[in-house]
Structure 1
């Protein structure tokens, strides 16, 4: 995965709250058993912690303030994205939003951007309080993606993914898939409280995987507004394999087998490893969001 060295990164799309102190209250999604249950239930790569009843309290604006602002100081160009993990994620956010903005315009609509919040350990959101135990998630109430960068180490060590830069990009693109669903009204279908292999919750997650693939298909041909050239200049077959591997690693069946020793499809919320790979590749192969109708 390669970025244009001379491209300018737009750090306004990322809020860097790493190292910020979260005042008051207590963490309601902790490590140990509670964190493990959260992972098995499937908030991983999902939508706000309030869905699982694992949060409490009102959002604290200070929690997402850019008090450290590391990315604003260090992530300026594509060259930085080619050498630093956090800058790479800034570049992926930029590329993802460039694509969806242009796609919405092509379809006669208007794209509303979403920020990504980098945090460490715990964060308060409009969807409630969460810790990094729940994995990356999108909060529809404040239209922000939340990401503890330490998760990518866990993706390799705990979930057995091969890792790599594009595995990280896949995670970000999946969360922006939820943002697209929020803008189009599809995300509400997952709010019926049902679980299971054929539930709307699973179909919403698989569609977000497909949207991630659609972005990947178009990433190297989407012009950056500042330069008129694509921000991402190269994606290799190995990159796509890393993305597929990450998708499989967080399939409900893989997670359940690893953490509870058995597979229970009636409690699925995200889909199997095979389904997640299938729908990501469907998006990547076609490059067309219209081919991501998981509800048919």
Structure 2
């Protein structure tokens, strides 16, 4: 169990979407950042090597979700409770957005919550068409984080954890891209190519750690006190989605877009140990 308390959740910023079909749709996503800047989704994929996913149907990694039609999924979202968030992946995403939107206004002046879409199969966004095979992602053009719950099964297959906090880390990582969008870091990193992408992703890992530090503290905390075992599940997942882990013997640091397993773990730990967003400035160090 990670969530404490009982009752309904705020679902005003969460909606259902998607075609309902699994697999790779073949479309690239363009991300808008700054004054008309358009880049592919490469910089913002969560933990999956974009080269393995872009441009071919043979790279599908997800199966058709069982969440049903958009109407049924929306009804499920709207009826989620804190109790259900401890057992149900969809409700866990919703509850995590509630926690994030409780924590971040206290840490960031001018914070405005992103929208969240829980989808199945393929979906159209302001950044272009996307599929489940791309993993969770954030689109700055519509300030929306997108999640297909079937990714959690893929994360486990890759060697990560399917534990609740590991799943919540996925959501927190994508919300961190929204923080980076609000601060201008996202556009800065996009202009730097792969090196900027790595710094963006490691900063998002660190900011996810900052959230975890605060999420179980205070009278309005939605998370119960976190345990070492739960933190270990996040570490396991961060290791599993390092570029060197995914690429294996083909690993080439110059091609990395997310950072090594060791780097991802280190930056999550930095955020979790300090609870300070200022400690997450990956653009101010040559020691990633």
CA distance in 2, matches of 1:219, 1:231: 7
Query: Does 1:139 find its partner at 2:139?
Result: yes
Residue 53 (structure 1) shift: 8.1
For 1:266, the equivalent position in structure 2 comes to: 254
Q: Give 1:72's match in structure 2, choosing from 63, 72, 77.
A: 77
TM-score relative to the length of structure 1: 0.79
CA distance in 2, matches of 1:203, 1:269: 9
CA distance in 2, matches of 1:78, 1:287: 24
Q: Give 2:26's match in structure 1, choosing from 14, 25, 28.
A: 28
CA distance in 1, matches of 2:242, 2:216: 27
Residue 248 (structure 1) shift: 1.1
Query: 1:18-97 maps to which residues of 2 (within 5 A)?
Result: 27-29=25-27, 43-45=44-46, 67-68=71-72, 69-75=74-80, 77-97=81-101
CA distance in 1, matches of 2:160, 2:5: 28
CA distance in 2, matches of 1:217, 1:67: 35
The one-character-per-residue Cα deviations of 1:95-134 (angstroms, maximum 9, x if unpaired) are: 0111011222xxxx22111111111110110011011111
For 2:197, the equivalent position in structure 1 comes to: 201
Query: Does 1:103 find its partner at 2:103?
Result: no
For 1:5, the equivalent position in structure 2 comes to: 5
CA distance in 2, matches of 1:4, 1:269: 36
Residue 86 (structure 1) shift: 1.2
CA distance in 1, matches of 2:235, 2:26: 32
Equivalent position SS for 2:145: strand
Residue 207 (structure 1) shift: 0.3
Residue 240 (structure 1) shift: 0.5
Residue 73 (structure 1) shift: 4.1
Query: 5+ unaligned residues in a row in structure 1: which ranges?
Result: 31-37, 55-64, 224-228
Residue 284 (structure 1) shift: 0.2
CA distance in 2, matches of 1:86, 1:95: 15
Contact 2:270–2:279 (CA<8 Å) still a contact in 1?
A: yes
For 1:283, the equivalent position in structure 2 comes to: 271
Residue 78 (structure 1) shift: 1.4
CA distance in 2, matches of 1:53, 1:103: 36
Contact 1:16–1:71 (CA<8 Å) still a contact in 2?
A: no
The one-character-per-residue Cα deviations of 1:248-283 (angstroms, maximum 9, x if unpaired) are: 1111111111xxx41111111110000000000000
Distance 1:166 1:9, change over 3 A: same
Contact 1:191–1:201 (CA<8 Å) still a contact in 2?
A: yes
**Alignment length, in residue pairs?**
256
Contact 2:20–2:121 (CA<8 Å) still a contact in 1?
A: no
Query: 5+ unaligned residues in a row in structure 2: which ranges?
Result: 29-39, 56-68
Residue 79 (structure 1) shift: 1.4
The one-character-per-residue Cα deviations of 1:126-155 (angstroms, maximum 9, x if unpaired) are: 011011111110000000001111011011
CA distance in 1, matches of 2:260, 2:205: 12
CA distance in 2, matches of 1:28, 1:216: 35
